[in-house]
A and B are shown apart, each in its own frame.
Chain A
Amino acid sequence: MSVAALETVGLGKRYLRRWALADCTFRILRGHVVGLVGPNGAGKSTLLNLAAGLLTPTAGSIKVLGEQPARDAAQLGRVGYVPQDAALYPWLSVEDHLRLGAHCNPRWDAVAAHARLAELGLSARQRAGKLSGGQRAQLSLTIALAKRPDLLLLDEPVSSLDPLARREFLGLLMSTVAGHDVSVVLSSHVVSDIERVCDYLIVLVDSRVRVAGKIEELLAGHHRLVGTRSTDDVAPANQTVIAASVTDRQRLLVVRSDGPVVEPGWIIESVSLEDLVLAYMGHGAARTVALPTTQAAP
């Protein structure tokens, strides 16, 4: 059995009395690009910080690449972490940040790091405090990638970027990751970002994992049922209803099923990833078009 990239059992983290993450159990094999999605405050950052070893669990356990996070220098070296808001030393230059990486990481790939900077057009002497949000995110990613990690954790890496920079960042991330044997966990509250790059999905809502699985399998296993008001009393058999909503004329359900869906009286449609995420986030079974935004309230 291969070692999982990320494995949690009953993982929980409590701040004073509030559980930021509770009863979190999943196992993700290596090689996946995992999208961690959920409203703000759902526990995405907490989960990633636990994986990076910045936080220690209050309950349960977490294994990253088969080991306790931040257990020793070697384990730290195998995990690349791009924190939210790209934590950089404002008074250090871009060059200094690369030196920092070179001095603190035995597996440091200086050639690749410098090549990436050249590609991005970042001036080496520029202070990190004067960089734009996109440049900061890119520098942060460059440092994380130059560690040659086996697992890359990205905490809302594109949340502060404009759509173009967002597209560029994710594109560069994927082209870099593609050539290497590296697993990725990426958090975002924007489903379209996840859809572009991920093949595995974890939906976190109210500190709990609502659903986790390969995106392909999730899409195949979920359907939208459209019925008339008259079907009110007819419950679909052998299905788990994830979300339901009622409009003036019709009734919409998002259901989960293991086998083929055969429901007389219902129109069966496939779901988009966005529909699926919204359903699990508790926004009903409405069509995506009806929703102006995916940035759900916490």
Chain B
Amino acid sequence: MTWLAWRQLRTQAAVAALAVAGVVVALAVTGPHLLNVYETVVVPCAAHGDCSAVTAHFQALDSQLANLCSTLMLLAPVLFGVFLGAPLIARELEGGTYRLAWTQSVTRTRWITTRLTLVTLVTAVLMALLSTAVTWWQRPLDLLNGGGYFDFDKSDVVPVAFAVFAVALGVSLGAITRRTLVAMAGTIAGYFGARYLVTQYIRRNLFTPLRSSSPFRLQVTSSGTQATIGPPQPGDWVVSNQIVTGSGRVVGENGGIGPNGALGGFSVKSNGTAVFTGVGRCPNRIPVSPGPHSHTIPATQAALQRCIDSFHLREVVYYQPVSRYWPLQWSEAAIFVAIAIVLSAGCVWWVRCRLP
């Protein structure tokens, strides 16, 4: 039976392996240079202060390959589901070949378990290879973006679990709908639906987020003014952040004051006031756009800050510390593998009892 399962998977597996090999080679060729530039130029520069120009130049290096990696890691798992998973049973039903397969001296249970095992194994191995290569390659870029959770779902273990889940979903939908095309479309919809739900609602609450609270401070940068709100460590993942008054009233979210977050509710007017919607206003001498007067900013900022301090605003941040990266990786992977196992078990039952 293993022979037949492999014979039927061989072509798709070879195509997938070739594609993965192509990407791995491209990454292996460009990766060392990227890492070298990062270590010899970007890191020393960062140690000496502002080096946005260097950073921008570095990010432009292989930016196309970086975009490709990003897209690839987003789509690769569902591609496995669509091309290896969905046709597995649906094509047998459409072509009538199940009548040949299920009348050999192999029970249906063994037929489906063998085929499921093999396709899952091939998917997991190829996806692990791809994920390892991409994770290694984009490590310098991730570090530049604060490291930690940046590219969380495009690195390490979770992509493998996503792919295993997508394949189980594809096989199951193929068995239920009996149509390859319908199963393919359903796999795409179901995969991104499940991913969205887990990303939006489950991932952040897998472990209770930590809370940090600090006085609200204003920061002036080359591009204007903004709140300093942020997690305690650069690599931490901010689940939510709020600005609250001394009495506990929430006046701002996501780093800004005002109902829509951002800096919408915080406007610096050139006529000399800074308005904090729902809180109050302060005299302001910081120019709207930094220009020739930039040298006076530190002094004026200090004056504005003193006024803001009188409001007793606090920044409250809920976050997942960077130390939880691996527990979160394994937990989310476990969730998708568990769903895949449930789907596969359902699939075995369906093939045994509900088909053709």
A73 touches B107 (CB 8 A): yes
How near does chain B come to A133, taking the closest CB pair, in angstroms? 14
CB-nearest residue of chain B to A73: B105
Asked whether any CB of chain A lies closer than 8 Å to the CB of B197, the reply is no
A86-110 vs B, CB cutoff 8 Å, 1 = contact: the mask equals 0111101000100111011111000
CB-nearest residue of chain A to B5: A103
A70-98 vs B, CB cutoff 8 Å, 1 = contact: the mask equals 10111011011101010111101000100
Asked whether any CB of chain B lies closer than 8 Å to the CB of A52, the reply is yes
B100 touches A76 (CB 8 A): no
Asked whether any CB of chain B lies closer than 8 Å to the CB of A31, the reply is no
A139–B249 alpha-carbon span in the complex (Å):
80
CB-nearest residue of chain A to B4: A100
Asked whether any CB of chain A lies closer than 8 Å to the CB of B307, the reply is no
Assess A53 versus B104: contact at CB under 8 Å? Given A85-B96, A103-B3: no
A143–B104 alpha-carbon span in the complex (Å):
9
CB within 8 A of B4: which of A53, A73, A90, A104?
A104
The total of chain A residues at the interface (CB under 8 A) is 34
CB within 8 A of B104: which of A54, A76, A88?
A76
CB within 8 A of A96: which of B7, B98, B353?
B7
Asked whether any CB of chain B lies closer than 8 Å to the CB of A189, the reply is no
Asked whether any CB of chain B lies closer than 8 Å to the CB of A262, the reply is no
CB-nearest residue of chain B to A100: B4
CB-nearest residue of chain B to A69: B103
Residues from chain B with a CB closer than 8 A to the CB of A103 are 1-4
Asked whether any CB of chain B lies closer than 8 Å to the CB of A178, the reply is no
CB within 8 A of B107: which of A72, A80, A89?
A72
A83 touches B105 (CB 8 A): no
A87 touches B95 (CB 8 A): yes
Assess A92 versus B7: contact at CB under 8 Å? Given A54-B356, A87-B97, A143-B100: yes
How many A-B residue pairs have C-beta atoms within 8 angstroms? Tell me: 79
Asked whether any CB of chain B lies closer than 8 Å to the CB of A147, the reply is yes
A274–B2 alpha-carbon span in the complex (Å):
48
Asked whether any CB of chain A lies closer than 8 Å to the CB of B99, the reply is yes
CB-nearest residue of chain A to B91: A89
Assess A107 versus B356: contact at CB under 8 Å? Given A87-B100, A143-B100: no
A49–B98 alpha-carbon span in the complex (Å):
12
- Contacting residues of chain A (138-180) with chain B, CB-CB under 8 angstroms: 140, 143, 147
Residues from chain A with a CB closer than 8 A to the CB of B98 are 54, 87
Asked whether any CB of chain B lies closer than 8 Å to the CB of A55, the reply is yes
CB within 8 A of A74: which of B1, B7, B96, B105?
B105
A96–B97 alpha-carbon span in the complex (Å):
14
A107–B100 alpha-carbon span in the complex (Å):
17
B99 touches A83 (CB 8 A): yes
B356 touches A89 (CB 8 A): no
How near does chain A come to B10, taking the closest CB pair, in angstroms? 11
Residues from chain A with a CB closer than 8 A to the CB of B281 are none
B95 touches A90 (CB 8 A): yes
B99 touches A81 (CB 8 A): yes
CB within 8 A of A54: which of B2, B95, B103, B107?
B103
B1-34 vs A, CB cutoff 8 Å, 1 = contact: the mask equals 1111001100000000000000000000000000
Residues from chain B with a CB closer than 8 A to the CB of A107 are 105
* 15 residue pairs from A and B, CB less than 8 Å apart: A54-B98, A54-B103, A54-B356, A70-B108, A77-B104, A77-B105, A83-B100, A83-B103, A87-B98, A88-B97, A101-B104, A103-B2, A104-B104, A105-B104, A140-B100
The 7 A-B residue pairs whose C-beta atoms are closest, nearest first, are A77-B105, A104-B104, A103-B3, A83-B99, A81-B103, A87-B96, A87-B99
Which A residues are within 8 Å of any B CB, using their own CB?
A: 49, 52-56, 70, 72-74, 76-77, 79-81, 83, 85, 87-90, 92, 96, 99-101, 103-107, 140, 143, 147
